Copies of this chain bind each other. A is one copy, B any other.
Amino acid sequence: MPVYFRSVDLSKIIGRQIASYRKQKKISQEKLADLSDLHPDYIGKIERGERNPSIISILNILDVLQVPYGEFFSQIEK
């Protein structure tokens, strides 16, 4: 699969996964944005796979959601 399509694909998978964990933890996009030092709109765009955030932004989000990095990224691979 060409790199471009794979990255759009990965962004969507990552976004869906973040949204899933956020809902499990019953945290709003606004609250997640506030705690991870990002704009609420940006959280929405990440969850829809519309952005390619930095690795640090993703790890900050996982810290807020208290999701182990290894657990999160092993699910991305499947």
Q: State the A residues within 8 Å of B (CB).
A: 3, 7, 10-11, 14, 37, 52-56, 58-60, 68-77
Cα distance A3–B68 in the bound complex, in angstroms: 17
Known: A11-B56, A69-B77, A72-B73. 17 other contacts (CB 8 A): A3-B37, A3-B60, A7-B60, A10-B56, A14-B55, A52-B54, A52-B56, A53-B54, A53-B55, A54-B54, A55-B55, A55-B58, A68-B77, A69-B76, A70-B73, A70-B77, A74-B74
Cα distance A31–B23 in the bound complex, in angstroms: 41
Interface of A: prevailing SS = helix
Cα distance A10–B55 in the bound complex, in angstroms: 9
